[in-house]
């Protein structure tokens, strides 16, 4: 069943009832100021870093879930309601939530009063705007008491939820007109404060949460709201908040709009105070006057829409498959931008406190956004490379605020270095900007250690070459892409993190997956070397690649599929010799994409994957699932069967199989897998799938799980980038290349063709794909050999591909 529908024209998903199976969220913000916003208006805001600059409070483990966030109350006689249903929970006469690109709209109606609440973060401004429009559809005058409220987080989200002996003493606010300023810790080392304001005179306020709510009450029934009053409380310690009260009279048919503004301000040290103890509000005033009127708000919304329209016009498809089109044209690319901004930090599953920007995550995410924001992709690559160590290994994560490697998570994930080659090559193929290879880039962020970025790539490849085990395959280290395959960890300590616990380096545990990666990205690195004139290096790398290929064929092939690894005792994993975990998805994807063993091995491996791992929602990660914990396997065997890495459909790696099917030219199999977990295609199963039908989730519980088909961890997953790569570069076959744009579709038989528009290196390629006997490609009427269209200066190039 469905809980809403896609409005393709408006690029919105429209949710028609508040009781979605889980909160269905959206993201606001493009740079700096970000918010998460659910279909009942829950969520939180932060500035740049979800852990260190948390602006509003959110309780992940709360019951009821997702209460709080932006709290709007409309009091009409005895009835109190919220335009987004929560927090008041009063049943509405009508409800809609429209999640758009960078904005969300809530439309509620009760007793002939309609409310439309639109929330957005304007381009380039550190604030969230909330426009509340109220309309009286009755024949009598309505006198309404209206509240808008937020609860402040005391900045560091971890301290905020742990260090109460301090927290309950430090909260401080200032009130000025219709604005509440949150200035906790500003008196000492912070140079930032936040504010909540409305563009109309208020009738009262509260800034002390417990005064506003009253004893024994939650957000659904604040005592101030029940009494239609404010206590004008001034928070001093405890839990500071901002509740603004408006008294609104609406004549029959009358409509009034109010603009609420949640803002963040940083002041230079010398300008912190305007008088002793009084915060300098100059920047806040400027922000408030930039967004003081409905006209200014509307302009901000138009600007946002134009920004997204511009971005998304870079790649569009028109086909007979409306679901395919809406994934490609809107939602998949949108999610790629969200993963660019958030990495794996803040979602309704990622608390924003534990994980910064992942090295491998960000490198892979780049594959999905490099065509949208190439300049920012460039900066991202250099930031990532700067946390690499001189020996080619890397920190696993960095913090967005400092861009420093995160020592808490450490290093030793031996796939990490190779992802740097993957993303740098993808960037250069997209942009033609070889100059990035010359960019001086430090190791471990240490000044004085800078070398050209190319040297980082060299050390990445070198690290894999020089860290191999008994079978000549790459050592796995702490883990490879599968964070839970911890073959050197042997943890027996309850609760110990598998990601950071001490690692006994056996010098033996090897990864066939990294071998596949090396064959693929080693070749890409060799091609790059060749292009920039490093012929000898190219030849040496090719030799290493071919050695690796041989090692995989000798020790990584199990007869019907590729093995997964060798454990610390040199025993195979992912082999028919094993009782459980006989076959894993990852090496089937990567070894086939890398072309190891050619199409025959490829088809065999992919067929085995389908037969043994395939279900209605995709390909499961492994089978049979581990039923017991094994210390020589680590976290993977800690999950109950069918969940997460232990045999769910781990959506991130399904597109590898889609791409692998394209590699062996089976368009039917590729598309069949693509549609099994593309959100728009499974919208009808929302009561089973449960997460948002407009974005990918990390996992879908496998057949071995009690909740087979249920997804978790929506939004922040490498699935977004890889699915976009699979559909755009594999199925639709549009691949940026050094010398031009390759167009090589691999469509399922039932599709007759499609039209694609792709902006590439300043030229817009208008591509028509059709079926016919005269196979081949013509560009601007000229028949070409092969399927790569050479670069051109022309603004438009029209391409006809006959398949
Ligand atoms: C999860 C992995 C994740 C890892 C990162 C594990 O608990 O299962 O999916 O990559 O944590 O910290
Ligand atoms: C999620 C992590 O973010 C990613 O880095 C990892 O590759 C997968 N889980 C698989 O474990």
Atom 12, ligand 1: residue with shortest CA distance: 499
Find the ligand nearest to 357 CA.
2
Our answer on whether the CB atom of 358 is closer than 6 Å to any ligand 2 atom is yes
Q: Is the pLDDT of residue 355 over 80?
A: no
Our answer on whether the CB atom of 482 is closer than 6 Å to any ligand 1 atom is no
CB 612 within 8 A of CB 562: no
Atom of ligand 1 nearest to the CA of 650: 9
Find the ligand nearest to 513 CA.
2
Pocket probe mutation, ligand 1, options 499, 622, 634, max atoms within 8 Å of Cβ: 499
pLDDT of amino acid 400: 78
Kindly report, residue by residue over 619-652, the tens digit of the pLDDT.
999 999 999 999 999 999 999 999 999 999 999 9
String of DSSP letters for 30-59 = SSSEEEEEETTS---EEES-TTTTEEE---
Instruction: State in Å: Cα 597 to ligand 1 middle.
Output: 31
Kindly report, residue by residue over 767-783, the tens digit of the pLDDT.
999 999 999 999 999 99
Q: Is the pLDDT of residue 173 over 80?
A: yes
Work out the percent of the chain whose per-residue pLDDT is above 90.
97
Instruction: State in Å: Cα 483 to ligand 1 middle.
Output: 6
Our answer on whether the CB atom of 499 is closer than 6 Å to any ligand 1 atom is yes
Kindly report, residue by residue over 138-167, the tens digit of the pLDDT.
999 999 999 999 999 999 999 999 999 999
Q: Is the pLDDT of residue 127 over 90?
A: yes
Mean pLDDT of all residues in 555-567: 98
Mean pLDDT of all residues in 273-301: 98
Instruction: State in Å: Cα 27 to ligand 2 middle.
Output: 21
**Given the structure tokens 């290096």, which residue do they identify?**
537
Residues carrying an active site annotation? 483
Instruction: State in Å: Cα 307 to ligand 2 middle.
Output: 31
Our answer on whether the CB atom of 365 is closer than 6 Å to any ligand 2 atom is no
Q: What is the pTM of this model?
A: 0.98
Q: CA dist 679 to 414, 477, 594, 633, 689, Å? A: 32, 34, 28, 32, 9
Give the pLDDT band (50/70/90) at residue 100.
very high
Dihedrals φ, ψ of 787, to 5°? Answer: -125, 25
Mean pLDDT of all residues in 64-80: 97
Kindly report, residue by residue over 373-432, the tens digit of the pLDDT.
999 999 999 999 999 999 999 999 988 788 888 888 888 999 999 999 999 999 999 999
Instruction: State in Å: Cα 359 to ligand 1 middle.
Output: 14
Average pLDDT, the chain: 97
User: Both tokens of residue 715?
Assistant: 């939004």
pLDDT of amino acid 401: 80
Q: Is 229 helix (H, G, I), strand (E, B) or coil?
A: coil
Q: Is the pLDDT of residue 503 over 80?
A: no
Kindly state the helix (H) or strand (E) to which residue 340 belongs, with its residue range: helix 332-342
Q: Is 44 helix (H, G, I), strand (E, B) or coil?
A: coil
Atom of ligand 1 nearest to the CA of 409: 12
Measure the CA–CA gap between 55 and 242, rounded to whole angstroms: 12
Pocket probe mutation, ligand 1, options 484, 495, 713, max atoms within 8 Å of Cβ: 484
Find the ligand nearest to 584 CA.
2
Atom of ligand 1 nearest to the CA of 644: 8
Our answer on whether the CB atom of 645 is closer than 6 Å to any ligand 1 atom is yes
pLDDT of amino acid 210: 98
pLDDT of amino acid 673: 98
Nearest CA to 406 out of 417, 415, 418, 394 is that of 394
Kindly report, residue by residue over 657-685, the tens digit of the pLDDT.
999 999 999 999 999 999 999 999 999 99
Our answer on whether the CB atom of 483 is closer than 6 Å to any ligand 1 atom is yes
Our answer on whether the CB atom of 49 is closer than 6 Å to any ligand 1 atom is no
CB 117 within 8 A of CB 72: yes
Instruction: State in Å: Cα 102 to ligand 1 middle.
Output: 28
Give the pLDDT band (50/70/90) at residue 506.
confident
pLDDT of amino acid 698: 98
Radius of gyration of the chain (CA): 27
Q: Is 739 helix (H, G, I), strand (E, B) or coil?
A: coil
């Amino acid at each position: 069943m469905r809980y809403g529908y896609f409005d393709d024209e408006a690029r919105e998903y429209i949710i028609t009832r508040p009781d979605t199976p889980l909160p269905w969220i959206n993201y606001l913000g493009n740079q700096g100021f970000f918010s998460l916003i659910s279909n009942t208006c829950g969520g939180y805001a932060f500035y740049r870093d979800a852990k260190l600059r948390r602006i509003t409070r959110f309780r992940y483990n709360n019951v009821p879930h997702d209460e709080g966030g932006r709290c709007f109350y409309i009091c009409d006689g005895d009835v109190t309601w919220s335009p987004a249903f929560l927090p008041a929970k009063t049943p509405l006469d009508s409800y809609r939530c429209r999640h758009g690109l960078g904005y969300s709209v809530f439309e509620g109606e009760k007793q002939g009063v309609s409310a439309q609440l639109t929330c957005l973060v304007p381009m380039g401004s550190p604030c969230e705007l909330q426009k509340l429009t109220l309309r009286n559809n009755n024949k009598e005058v309505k006198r309404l008491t209206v509240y808008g409220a937020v609860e402040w987080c005391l900045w560091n989200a971890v301290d905020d939820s742990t260090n109460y002996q301090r927290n309950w003493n430090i909260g401080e606010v200032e009130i000025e007109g219709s604005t509440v300023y949150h200035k906790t810790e500003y008196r000492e080392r912070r140079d930032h404060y936040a504010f909540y304001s409305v563009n109309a005179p208020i009738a009262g306020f509260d800034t002390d949460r417990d005064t506003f709510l009253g004893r024994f009450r939650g957000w659904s029934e604040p005592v101030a709201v029940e009494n239609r009053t404010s206590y004008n409380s001034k928070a001093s310690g405890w839990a500071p908040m901002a509740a603004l009260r408006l008294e609104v009279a609406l004549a029959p048919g009358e409509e009034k709009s109010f603009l609420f503004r949640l803002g963040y301000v940083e002041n230079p040290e010398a300008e912190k105070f305007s008088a002793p103890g009084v915060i300098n509000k100059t920047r806040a005033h400027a922000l408030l006057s930039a967004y003081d009127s409905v006209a200014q708000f509307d302009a901000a919304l138009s600007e946002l829409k134009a920004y997204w329209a511009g971005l998304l016009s870079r790649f569009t498809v028109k086909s007979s498959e409306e679901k395919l089109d809406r994934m490609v044209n809107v939602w998949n690319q949108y999610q790629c931008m969200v993963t660019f901004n958030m990495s794996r930090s803040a979602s309704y599953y990622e608390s924003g406190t534990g994980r910064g920007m992942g090295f491998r995550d960000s490198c892979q995410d780049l594959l999905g956004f490099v065509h949208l924001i190439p300049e920012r992709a460039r900066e991202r690559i250099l930031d990532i490379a700067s946390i690499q160590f001189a020996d080619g290994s890397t920190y696993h994560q960095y913090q967005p605020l400092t861009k420093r490697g995160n020592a808490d998570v450490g290093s030793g994930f031996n796939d990490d270095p190779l992802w740097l080659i993957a993303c740098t090559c993808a960037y250069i193929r997209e942009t033609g900007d070889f100059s990035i290879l010359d960019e001086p880039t430090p190791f471990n962020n240490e000044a004085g250690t800078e070398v050209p970025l190319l040297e980082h790539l060299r050390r990445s490849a070198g690290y894999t070459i020089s860290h191999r085990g008994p079978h000549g395959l790459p050592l796995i280290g702490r883990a490879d892409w599968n964070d839970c395959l911890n073959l050197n960890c042997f943890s027996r300590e309850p609760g110990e993190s598998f990601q950071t616990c001490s690692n006994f380096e056996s010098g033996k545990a090897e990864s066939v997956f990294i071998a596949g990666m090396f064959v693929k990205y080693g070749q890409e690195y060799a091609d790059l070397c060749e292009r920039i004139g490093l012929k000898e290096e190219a030849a040496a790398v090719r030799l290493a690649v071919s050695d690796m290929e041989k090692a995989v064929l000798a020790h990584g092939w199990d007869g019907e599929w590729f093995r997964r690894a060798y454990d610390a005792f040199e025993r195979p994993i992912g082999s028919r010799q094993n009782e459980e975990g006989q076959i894993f998805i990852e090496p089937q994807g990567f070894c086939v994409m890398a072309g190891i063993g050619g199409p025959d091995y490829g088809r065999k491996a992919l067929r085995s994957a389908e037969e043994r791992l395939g279900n209605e929602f995709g390909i499961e990660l492994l089978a049979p699932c581990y039923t017991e914990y094994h210390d020589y396997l680590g976290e993977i065997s800690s999950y109950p069967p069918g969940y997460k890495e232990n045999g769910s459909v781990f959506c991130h790696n399904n597109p590898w199989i889609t791409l692998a099917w394209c590699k062996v030219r089976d368009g039917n199999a590729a598309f069949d897998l693509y549609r099994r977990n593309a959100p728009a295609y499974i919208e009808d199963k929302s009561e089973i799938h449960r997460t948002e039908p407009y974005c990918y989730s990390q996992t879908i519980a496998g057949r071995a799980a009690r909740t087979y088909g249920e997804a978790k961890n929506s939004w922040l997953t490498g699935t977004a980038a890889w699915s976009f790569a699979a559909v755009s570069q594999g199925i639709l076959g549009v691949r940026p290349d050094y010398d031009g744009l390759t167009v090589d579709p691999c469509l399922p038989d039932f599709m007759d063709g499609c039209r694609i528009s792709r902006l590439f290196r300043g030229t817009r390629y208008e591509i028509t794909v059709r079926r016919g006997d005269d196979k081949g490609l013509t560009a601007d009427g000229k028949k070409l050999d092969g399927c790569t269209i050479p670069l051109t200066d022309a603004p438009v190039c029209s391409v006809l591909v006959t398949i």
